[in-house]
Amino acid sequence: METDAALRGLSALAQEGRLAVFRLLVKAGPDGMAAGDIARRTKTAANTMSAQLLVLANAGLVRARRDGRSIIYVADFGRMGALLEFLTKDCCGGRPEICAPMLACPAKKPRKARAA
């Protein structure tokens, strides 16, 4: 990843609402979410959500596809990985094992059984 692309990605994420949208889309996984659902979940007006998604799309962090009358947005995991790689490329004074846990996908903690 080139520096200018990394700057566009980081700039897009450097706003509370857009960061929340991106994190929501990352959590949604490869199926993504409809724009209206994203707006409802983040309690954001439709026009504001449209602007936020446009900034994220222009930075290459999200992709959109039409599904009937809905537009589904999906986090671009390849671009996200490239941004993380850019940030950690020269990590840790030549000791990549220090950064490895940070780049690994965190495992979900198992839910505790509820008492009856």
49 or 91, which is more confident: 49
Higher pLDDT, 97 or 26: 26
With helix as H, strand as E and coil as C, how does 37-66 read?
HHHHHHCCCHHHHHHHHHHHHHCCCEEEEE
Output 105 or 52, whichever has higher pLDDT.
Answer: 52
Least confident of 8-12, 17-21, 54-58, 99-103: 99-103
Domains of the chain plus CATH, in order, are 3-103 (1.10.10.10)
pTM: 0.80
| Average pLDDT value for residue range 72-82 | 94
Indicate if the alpha-carbon torsion angle 3, 101, 17, 60 is positive or negative. positive
**CA distances for 82 relative to 3, 45, 95, angstroms:** 11, 31, 19
**pLDDT, mean over the chain:** 86
Residue 108 predicted with pLDDT over 70: no
Query: Of all helices (H) and strands (E), which one includes residue 13?
Result: helix 3-13
pLDDT digits (tens, 9 = 90+) for 7-45: 999 999 999 999 999 999 999 999 999 999 999 999 999
